[in-house]
Each structure stands twice: as C-alpha cells, then as structure tokens.
Chain A
Amino acid sequence: MNTERFLRALGVPAPVDRRSLPLCTVADRPVTIALGWSAQALETARYRSTPLVVVAADDSLPGPLDGGDEACPVVAVTDRPWAIGSADLGLLIGRTGPADHDDLDEIAAAELTGRFLDLAFDASARPPSGGGSLLDVVPFAIGEPYGIEEVLGALVDDGGWLEMDAGAAGEVLTAVARIGGRSVGIVASRPAVDQGRLSPVGCTRVSRMVTGCIRANRPLVSLVDTAGVAAPADAAEMAVMTRTAAEVRSAAVTKVAVVLGRAVGLGATVMGAVGARADVVLPWPRASFAIAALPSGSADVADAAVVERAARDGDLMDIIHPDDTRARVSEMLEILRGQRDFGR
C-alpha cells in the first residue's frame, strides 16, 4: 500500500512531515495522523482528544501499538499487521491478513477508516431504512437457518455496521455499529454456520471485540443463537474458549444480550447470555437455555429449557417481541448509560 495515495484518499494534504503529526478532518471529525508509530503520537492525539490514524505502509514496521481509549481510538493501516499484535486496537487494516480487513487498495482503506471513525462515536439516532417484520426473517423452529445480517439490519441505525476480523471464523460476526445513536460493539451468532457453535477462532474474534469495547468504554450488544462450542481438539483450544468466557464475564462494560434462539453451554457464556454478568438479557419467544445441546426428540428436557419457565420464575425479567428488539435494546442502552458516569 502506498502511504501517499492512502493519505490523499483520506483527504490529507500532502506532503506529510513524519514528525509534524498533522490534524486533518475525517468523518467530520479532527483526526491526528502519524506516519509510523511513536508513543509521542498517541500522547499528542490524547492531548488533542482526537482519534489517531497510524499509517505504516510501504513495508515499514509500525511497532507495538497502544489501543487508545474512548476519546482517542486508534486506527492502524499497515502492510504487516502481524507485527502489531494489539487486540485492543480500534481498527486494523492490512495488506495481508490477519487484520480486520485485508487486501484493500488505498481508496477502500481510506473509506473504511472514515466509516470506522464515524461509527466509533455516538451520534443522533437514525432508524434503519426498510421495514418488514423479523417474524418473516427468522423461522420459529429452532435449527432452521436464517441470515443474521437481516436481523442486524433491523437492529442498528441507518448506515449499517462495520465488520471487524472480517476474514475470521464464520459462525460469529463481530462489528461496530450504532443503535439509537449509541456506538456499540456487536457480537452476533450466525446459526447458518454450524448452528452458531463457537470454534476457538470464533472465540478469539469475540475476545478481540470485548477487548476493544473495554478500551473504548463501548457497550457490548450480543445476538445469541448458538448450540454451544465446537468440541475442542485439545487443551489449548479448550483454554481459548474458557478464557474468552472469563473475559466476557469480567468485562466492565455495559452488556446487553438478545437471545434469538438457543443459548447453550459455554457458547452461551462466550456470547454474553448466561453466566456472563450481562446487565440485561432480552430473550425472544423462541429462545431456549440449556447447559448442553439436547438430543433431538427428548421433549421433556427441551421443555425444561424453554424461556417461559425462566420468565415465570423471575430468572429472566421479560420476553420480547422480535420486532421490539431495536426499541428495547435502545431503551436499555439509554438507561444503562448512567453506569458510565456513576460507576459500577
């Protein structure tokens, strides 16, 4: 990737002096640009209270990056993403993987940077375009595939979402978006891929999202429909899964979980639905909770797992209509916002 072309696409007037750390406007917001990483760059961006875009193209090494924070998210654009190794980074764009987005030309990379820096901050609420009921999108019967993208489209503000770790495991989608004007991190099961069972790579993807949310003090919204975790091949894989579950549980950010379908076992914890200290769990009527995937045809056990029972006993505070999901999640995000100022 060519630094100059990227900067030109971003709208930065060339030439850029390596030491000057110029300010430019990206997504209607002042942004500090650094050619190559330095501690001073982050310090300056923090002082200016702006995001920081670190460009380390042309085979230069970016060095270990700090992930920034709420007021100062960091975007890194590099040819060698593996040399960075920061899970708490705002967004990582690389020429070759593994990054949030790979194989982009300079113009696409600049566009992506702008989109991220837009979605990373709160704005006024914009309802999603397009109507239609989610009842027509998601079949009631458990196990039948549906497109989580359509559910997401009805949930997030107009303008959609920006996927993170785009090339990684398909059973889970992670993204940054806005709901009711609030910048949020999204973790969503893709039940069409192995019934949403989380692989170790899928868990890593969740972990990366959670870490980023903690850095940015960004609420985590999860859409849960998972049959659990994929059986781990060895202790190392198992460790990745359990560690991710612990990370989700201990993450001190606002956590809202919508349970669309199954919330099974360790997968349900990784997805923030069970035993994850979520601030609120909003189940759909088709939701079911179980410690392990159920053998098909065992009706009694399946009934014990259904959501009405949990709602009757007061383990869940409500069951929501799928078409109310956006309204209910926005309301909770607004209510739980107090946490940010008030402390947990």
Chain B
Amino acid sequence: MRAVGQEQRPTTWGEALAGLEAMRQAGRAMGGQSAITKLHQRGKLTPRERIDLLFEPGTFREIGELVTGLIEVPDRTDREAPADGVVTGWGRVGGRRVLVVADDGTITAGARGPGGNRKVAYMRNMSSHHGYPLVMLLESSANRFQSMMGAQFAGASGGGSLGTSPPVAEWQLAGRSPIVCAVLGTALGAASFQTMDAEFSTLAEGTAAMALAGPPVVQGGIGVETTPQDLGSGELHATRTGFIDHVGDREEDCIGAVRRFLGFFPANSRELPPRLLTGDPADRESPELADLVPLDHRKPYDMGELLRTIVDNGDLLELRPRFARNIITGYARIDGWTVGVIANQPQHLGGIVDVKAVVKAVRFAQICNAYNIPLVFLQDQPGFIVGPESEREGALRQVVRLMNTAYGATVPMITVLVRKAYGFSTWLLGGRAVGADHVIAWPSASISLAAPEIGVATLLRNEMAKGDLSEERQLELYASYRRMSQARWAAYDYRIDDVIEPARTRRELASALAMAEGRRRSNLRTRRSFDTA
C-alpha cells in the first residue's frame, strides 16, 4: 500500500499547480530513458510515439495521466509505474474522434495494475456507451503478475469508473462500436481474446506474436520448449490461422493500416460509413477490363487488379491477403460510398470456394452487415470444393454458416458475375436467392448448377462408363450446355438485372449503390453482432 500523508499538502494555488505539473511529467517519462532505448533497440516504439503516429497532430487528449501504479516484488524496493503502464485518451483520425488504449512496453513489458485496468475499463465503456471506435495498441496487456497474486484475481477485470459499472465484455461490444487491435508485443490470454473479437486486427511481423498461452505455460503444461514466435508469429497468423486481418513489416505499417481501416468505417453501428468523394468520377469507364479477363474460363487473371480498376482511386484495403487466397475480402469506396468487397480469385485454386474461403467470407460479411456497409460480390467460381478431404474439414458446417449469413444479411448486396457462376455458391455469394439488390453479369459469364463437364458426367454417367458416349458427342453436349449457361438467358426472363459491358462495371455499381440508399438507412434500426474469426 502506498503510504498516506507523506507529502506535504499544498497550501496555495501555485504549489498545487506545480505539484500537478510534476505528476504529469513523471507520467510522461514512462519507464525511463534506458527502458525506452532498450525498446527502440528491439525495433519497437513507446506508446506515446505510437499515439503520435495514430492521431492527427495536436489532437490527443490524455485521460488518466496522473494514475501511478506501484510495482511491488517481495525482497525488492517498490517502484512506481508511471501511468500504470498504459496510456489512454482520445484524438482524431481523418477529423473523427477515436479512443485509444496504448500499453507501455517500457514498464513491466506492458502489464498493468489496478489503476491501469480502471483506465482501460473507462475507455471500453466510453466506446460502448457513446459509440466511438476504440484502438488498442497492445503489448502484453496483462495484469501485473504480482498485483494479481492471491484472491484479488477473482475481481481482476477492473472496476470501470465511467460511472461505476464494470467494463463490458468483448461479446457485448461486438457489432456496437468498432474495436481495432494492433498487436505490437506478445499478446497472450486477454489480449489475444480481444484481438480475435476485434473488428480489425493488425500485427507487427517479427516483434509481435499472438497465442492462447505463452512459452512458460507451454513448458509447464506439455514440457515443450518454445518461443512466442513459434507459437504465434505474424507469418503463422497471416498464412495458416487467418486470425489477423493485416500483418505489417513495421509498427508504422500497422498503425497506418489502422488509420486506413478507420477511414472506411462508421463510428458505430448506428451510423452510416462516411461518404468520401475523392474526385474519381462515378461514370469512369474502364475499357482495359475486357483485355484483363480472358474469355476462356480456364485461363486465370488477377481479380485484385480487376477490383482496383473498379474502385475509387484503386484504393482497396485487402484483409487476410495471404490466407484463403482463392477469395478476396476488403474495404474500398465506389463513388465515395464504403463497400465491402467479396470476390473469387481465379489465380488461386481457380477461385474455388473451400472451407477457409467460407470462414474468411463469413466473418467479413457479418462485420459489414453489422456496420451498414454494402456488400459487393464479384463472382468467378466453379462452386464449393467437394471431396473427402473437404468433408473431413467440415465443409458442410461452413457452407451452412455462409447460407445463414447471406440469408440474414440486411445490408444492400450488389453482385457482378464475371465468368463462372456455378453451383449453390452462386446463390450464396450475393445471388438473387439471398436477396441481392442488383445482380449484373458480364457477357463472359456462365450461370448454371454445374460446369458443363460436371453436368454431362453426372447425367450420362452410365453411358460414359460403358463407353457409349463418343468424344465428339461429349464436346457437342458441352457446347450446348455452355450456350444454355450464357448470362443473357438469365437476363431475358429477368432472373438477373442486366448484362453489361465490362467497361461500365464501375458506373453500374455506383448507380446501384445510390439506389440502395434507402435500404442502407433502414439497416440502422437494428443491431447485429458477429462471431469470432
């Protein structure tokens, strides 16, 4: 316990204000110059440097600057923990108010005490109650070990002082105000849970890691020697787990990504995303698209390039780009409106919809739906992946999750069928069946239950097995099915809205988005949540 009554109480305004300023300066000094130097040597930044990168200059208002923790270790002299190991407050990004919680790596590796927990609870409650985005710049974000030894652990989540209510849990925040987590240290336990539930997450490659439990616990539990990087490096999460939306080479990249993300997002789920006109005309035509996409369905092309051609200024914030590369998810603008893009990538596995692709798309679609962000689908896919391996991976569960998400979505959905639109997945990825507002196709599109080859193989299975079907007849049948699959047949009886020249895709999308304004507004009335990962 801190001794009480040691300091002389001030007797004049001058003394009191000078004392206050001294307290503030002690708080700003963080863990001291040598600790700051050590942090820099490891390629990391202090919380105050990170905050400077996040906010527009001069907009940061610190809250809880005077909070001071006490680091007590048996048999050692007690030390003070300036700001109790976490810097909190608010500032502006793109002119809009954003809250921040920044762990201090110069003090007990970014662990905090009870005072620090109160500050974090205050920020979380403010985000939840007042509808502001909250950016968490995470180091360990753990509770300081020694202050949690003993039964006080029972109430360790901190008593909020925005009012006196306890801090809200992750699941209560999900879909209310966006929480953005930048993992800049070793995030274990609570910090990793927060990140898994965040609307957007980023992690610094090399200097940061995220896992359920760290090396000491792993050592104790299963007797295996590991490092934080073994357990949860940026590479692992970028390629294998797909838990992290963005992995940056440096902390600056991560914070830059946070700023970009916030620019696309509304402050909370009761607002529409800000419309930002950047001078890219809505009716800009892109004749290069016809050259980009080969008519031969077996030839790949880069869907990413197609997307960047269509959206405002080529600005696409792609999420989890190295995970499930057969599907692209990301935020962009069309005519200033924020949209969530979901598109097949024919360059990878032919753009097939597999288990990982569904996991990636479902999470993204749910977040867009929660935050009133219209979904734009671009389809070029042969359907769901089939076979024993994907069945063992639980393909059915994921397909039904996609189905439920798509049918439950209340935001505007606009779909472009670029080439292949085969199978049940053509309905679920923004088809008319799930209530898409506008479905348009390029002349290159084929719509069918299955590709012609699969259709023939299924229907004439016996004949093929007996060798009764000549190769010539097979090719004839394929051609016939291909003709029947042409998008214009769907347009003739209004099963889709239109067949358009590829060059006009952007202007068609812009006009469909303008038409969907009413639906976007009606979407504000209800609150929708989303699941983890």
Contact = CB atoms under 8 A, between A and B. Distances in A.
Nearest to A134: B13
A306 B9 contact: yes
A13 to B, nearest CB: 42
A315 B118 contact: yes
Contact of A339 (B84, B97, B130): B130
Contacts of B129: 338-339, 342, 344
Interface stretch (B156-164, B238-246, B511-519): B156-164
B115 A313 contact: yes
B12 A140 contact: yes
Contact of A304 (B5, B66, B164): B5
Interface in A94-147: 135, 140-141
A277 B164 contact: yes
B8 to A, nearest CB: 9
Contacts of B114: 313-314
B18 to A, nearest CB: 10
Interface string B113-138: 01111110010001001111000000
B17 A321 contact: yes
Contacts of B118: 313-315
Interface string B1-43: 0101101011111001101100100000000000000000000
Given A285-B20, A331-B61, A317 B13 contact: no
B66 A341 contact: no
B420 interface: no
A280 interface: yes
A335 interface: yes
A302 interface: yes
B68 interface: yes
Interface string A50-70: 000000000000000000000
A232 to B, nearest CB: 26
A318 interface: yes
B131 to A, nearest CB: 4
B272 to A, nearest CB: 13
Contact of B119 (A140, A141, A308, A314): A314
Q: Of A277, A311, A321, A331, which is in contact with the most chain B CB atoms at under 10 Å from its CB?
A: A311
A208 to B, nearest CB: 23
Contacts of A135: 13
A39 interface: no
Contacts of A342: 129-131, 268, 270
Contacts of A341: 131, 270
A155 interface: no
A140 B11 contact: yes
A312 B115 contact: yes
B163 A277 contact: yes
A317 B122 contact: yes
Interface string A304-334: 1010110111111111010000000001000
A338 B84 contact: no
B97 A303 contact: no
A149 interface: no
Contacts of B161: 314-317
Contact of A338 (B13, B115, B119, B131): B131
A14 interface: no
Interface residues of A, number: 36
Contact of A302 (B9, B17, B163, B267): B9
Given A302-B9, A314-B116, A319 B20 contact: yes
Contact of B9 (A303, A321, A339, A344): A303
A316 B162 CA distance: 10
A318 B66 contact: yes
A28 interface: no
Contacts of A309: 2, 4
B181 interface: no
B67 A312 contact: yes
A278 B165 CA distance: 11
Given A285-B16, A286-B16, A342-B268, A141 B11 contact: yes
B90 interface: yes
A280 B162 contact: yes
A77 B364 CA distance: 59
A313 B9 CA distance: 17
B64 interface: yes
B5 A317 contact: no
Contacts of A304: 4-5
Contacts of B65: 318
A27 B268 CA distance: 36
Contacts of A233: none
Nearest to A284: B16
A17 interface: no
A43 interface: no
Nearest to B164: A277
B19 A308 contact: yes
A182 to B, nearest CB: 15
A193 to B, nearest CB: 24
Given A279-B162, A338-B131, A341-B131, A317 B4 contact: no
Question: Counting chain A CB atoms within 10 Å of each CB, which of B66, B115, B117, B118 scores highest?
Answer: B66
B236 interface: no
A313 B67 CA distance: 6
A321 to B, nearest CB: 7
A279 B163 contact: yes
Contacts of A280: 162
A335 B130 contact: yes
Contacts of A277: 163-165
Given A285-B20, A308-B23, A315-B161, A336 B67 contact: no
A302 B9 CA distance: 9
A300 interface: yes
A278 B125 CA distance: 13
Contact of A303 (B4, B19, B162): B4
Nearest to A255: B163
B131 A299 contact: no
B163 A336 contact: no
B63 interface: yes
A318 B130 contact: no
B2 to A, nearest CB: 7
A317 B20 contact: no
B47 to A, nearest CB: 16
Nearest to B117: A314
Interface in B135-192: 161-165
Nearest to A286: B16
A336 B131 CA distance: 9
Contacts of B117: 314
Interchain residue pairs A-B with the least CB separation, the first 8? A314-B115, A342-B131, A314-B118, A338-B130, A285-B16, A311-B66, A303-B5, A314-B67
Given A135-B13, A279-B163, 10 more contacts: A140-B13, A140-B16, A275-B164, A286-B16, A312-B2, A312-B115, A314-B117, A317-B122, A317-B161, A342-B268
13 contacts: A140-B16, A141-B11, A277-B165, A278-B163, A302-B9, A304-B5, A318-B65, A319-B20, A321-B20, A335-B126, A338-B130, A338-B268, A344-B129
Interface of A: 135, 140-141, 275, 277-280, 285-286, 299-300, 302-304, 306, 308-309, 311-319, 321, 331, 335-336, 338-339, 341-342, 344
